[in-house]
C-alpha cells in the first residue's frame, strides 16, 4: 500500500522536486501551495506523512504544523518541516510545534531521497496504525451507564467500526471488548466515538490502549497484511 503524503510549499520548484522524488519512491503524493487549503485537507483526510515549508504566506509552517497536530485524523502523523534558514531557533520552533523531522534547503535529488528514506519507517508505522482489517466479531461494552452490543465491521491500531444495537453519539467515551481471529486473548480498549450514522454504524478512535492490547491488534493487522500480500503473488 502506497504511502499517502501531503506536501505544502508555496515554491513551485520545490513542490515539483518533492513530488518527483516521492513518486519515484512509490508514494501517493498530494501537492498544495496554500497552507490554509492544506489544513482544510488535513482536517478531512488521513495522511501517512506531511511535508511543510516553514516560510509561507497566509500561515507559516510552524502554525500549520501546530494546527495539524490538533486534528483528529493527523494528530500523530509524521510531519517533516523544511526551510532554507539555518537559524537554530527556526528549527526549534517547528519541532516544538510538533514536527517529527527537519530538513534544510536547498537539497538536490540524491540528497533529498536519502533524507526522505530516513523518515519512511516513521510514515510506514503511522500507515499501519490506520490499516483497517475486516472482522465480524461481536462487540460489547459500555458508555457510562449504557450497555453496548454490536457487530464489528473493521478494526485497526487506531480504532474500530461496528454496527451498534443502540444509538451512540460523537464525543461519547466508550469501553469496548471484542475477539480477534486467531487470538486466544480478548481485545479491550477505551475510545471516543468520532462518527455515528442514523443506521447506528459507529466509528471509535482508541484513546487508551494497554501495551499488551496494542500488540494483539498490531499482530492481527500484520497477519492480515501478510495473507493479502501472499494472495496477490
The 10s digit of each residue's pLDDT in 95-138 is 999 998 888 888 777 878 887 877 777 777 776 666 788 999 99
- pLDDT grade, residue 231 (50/70/90)? low
Q: Which pLDDT belongs to residue 233?
A: 45
Q: How many CB atoms sit inside 10 A of residue 159's CB?
A: 23
Instruction: Say yes or no: 80 and 144 in one domain.
Output: no
Strands 49-53 and 4-8: parallel
Instruction: Say yes or no: 108 and 56 in one domain.
Output: yes
The domain boundary, picked from 79, 110, 129, lies at 129
Q: How many CB atoms sit inside 10 A of residue 147's CB?
A: 10
Instruction: Say yes or no: 172 and 71 in one domain.
Output: no
Q: Which domain holds residue 87?
A: 4-129
**Residue pair 50/33 in contact by the 8 Å Cβ criterion:** no
Considering the chain, what is the average pLDDT of its residues? 88
The structural domain count of the chain equals 2
Tell me the whole-structure pTM to 2 decimals.
Answer: 0.61
Amino acid at each position: 500500500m502506497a504511502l499517502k503524503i501531503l506536501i505544502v510549499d508555496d515554491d513551485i520548484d520545490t513542490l515539483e522536486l518533492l513530488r518527483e522524488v516521492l513518486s519515484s519512491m512509490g508514494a501517493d503524493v498530494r501537492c498544495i501551495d496554500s497552507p490554509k487549503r492544506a489544513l482544510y485537507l488535513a482536517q478531512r483526510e488521513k495522511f501517512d506523512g506531511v511535508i511543510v515549508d516553514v516560510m509561507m504566506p497566509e500561515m507559516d509552517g510552524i502554525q500549520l504544523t501546530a494546527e495539524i497536530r490538533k486534528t483528529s485524523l493527523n494528530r500523530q502523523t509524521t510531519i517533516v518541516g523544511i526551510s532554507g534558514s539555518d537559524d537554530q531557533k527556526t528549527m526549534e520552533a517547528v519541532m516544538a510545534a510538533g514536527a517529527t523531522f527537519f530538513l534544510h534547503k536547498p537539497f538536490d535529488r540524491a540528497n533529498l531521497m536519502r533524507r526522505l528514506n530516513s523518515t519512511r519507517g516513521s510514515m510506514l508505522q503511522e500507515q499501519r496504525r490506520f490499516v483497517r482489517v475486516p472482522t465480524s466479531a461481536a462487540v460489547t461494552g459500555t458508555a457510562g451507564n449504557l450497555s453496548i452490543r454490536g457487530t464489528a465491521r473493521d478494526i485497526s491500531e487506531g480504532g474500530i467500526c461496528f454496527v451498534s444495537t443502540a444509538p451512540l453519539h460523537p464525543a461519547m467515551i466508550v469501553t469496548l471488548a471484542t475477539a480477534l481471529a486467531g487470538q486466544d486473548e480478548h481485545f479491550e480498549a477505551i475510545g471516543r466515538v468520532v462518527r455515528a450514522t442514523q443506521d447506528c454504524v459507529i466509528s471509535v478512535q482508541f484513546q487508551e490502549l494497554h501495551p499488551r492490547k496494542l500488540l494483539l491488534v498490531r499482530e492481527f493487522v500484520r497477519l492480515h497484511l501478510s495473507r493479502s500480500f501472499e494472495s496477490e503473488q
